[in-house]
A and B are shown apart, each in its own frame.
Chain A
Amino acid sequence: MLREHVEEHGQEHAEDQPGADSPANRRLRWLLTLVVLALAVGALFINVWSTGAGLPYFSRRFQTLVTIFLSIFIEAVPFLIAGSLVSGLIHVFVDQSMLDRYLPRQPFFAAMAGASMGLLFPVCECGVVPVTRRLYEKGLPMSIGVAFLLAAPIINPIVLLSTYAAFGWGPVLWGRFAISFAVASAIGLIFSLAKPRELLLPQVLDARHAACDLHSHHAPGSQSFHQRLQEALITGGDDFLDMARYLILGSLLAAAMQTLTPREALLAIGQGPILSVWVMQALAFVLSVCSTVDAFLALAFVGSFTAGSILAFLTFGPMVDIKSALMFLGVFRRRIVFYLILLPLMLTMVLSIAWNLF
Chain B
Amino acid sequence: MLERRQIIFKSWLLVAMGFFLLSRIMNGTLYFYINKRFLGLTLFAVAALLAVGTNYYLLLQRNARGEANPEDGEMGYGHTCDDGCTGAHEHEHTPDHTHAHHLTWVGALLVMLPIALGLFVRPQPLGASAMDVREATLISDVGNGPALPGAVRAAQEKAANERNILEWDQTFRMTENPAAALAGEPVDVTGFVYQYEDLGTDQFLVMRYAVNCCAADAAAFALVVEWPDATALEDDMWVSVTGELMPGKVGGRTMPVVQGRVVELVDPPQQPYLYP
Contact = CB atoms under 8 A, between A and B. Distances in A.
5 contacts: A6-B97, A67-B32, A75-B34, A79-B41, A300-B219
Interface stretch (B106-114, B200-208, B257-265): B106-114
B134 A289 contact: no
B94 A10 contact: yes
Contacts of B114: 69-70, 73-74, 248, 251
A75 B100 contact: no
B82 A235 contact: yes
Given A21-B96, A72-B216, A214 B52 contact: no
A244 B115 CA distance: 13
B217 to A, nearest CB: 5
A61 B219 CA distance: 17
Interface string A244-271: 1100110110110011111110000000
The list of the 9 closest CB pairs from A to B, nearest first, reads A210-B83, A71-B215, A207-B83, A60-B129, A71-B214, A203-B100, A78-B41, A71-B33, A78-B45
B85 interface: yes
Interface stretch (A26-34, A104-112, A176-184, A349-357): A26-34
Interface of A: 2-3, 6, 10-11, 14, 18-22, 26, 29-30, 33, 47, 57, 60-64, 66-75, 77-79, 81-82, 85, 91, 95, 137, 165-166, 202-203, 206-208, 210-211, 214-215, 218, 222-223, 227, 230-231, 233-238, 240-242, 244-245, 248-249, 251-252, 254-255, 258-264, 287-290, 292-294, 296-297, 299-300, 302-304
Contacts of A290: 213-214
Interface of B: 10, 13-14, 17, 21, 24, 30, 32-35, 38, 41-42, 44-45, 48-49, 51-53, 55-56, 58-59, 62, 69, 71, 77-79, 81-86, 89, 92-94, 96-97, 99-104, 106-107, 110-111, 113-114, 117-118, 121-130, 132-135, 145-146, 148-149, 212-217, 219, 276
B134 A263 contact: yes
Contacts of A264: 133-135
A308 to B, nearest CB: 16
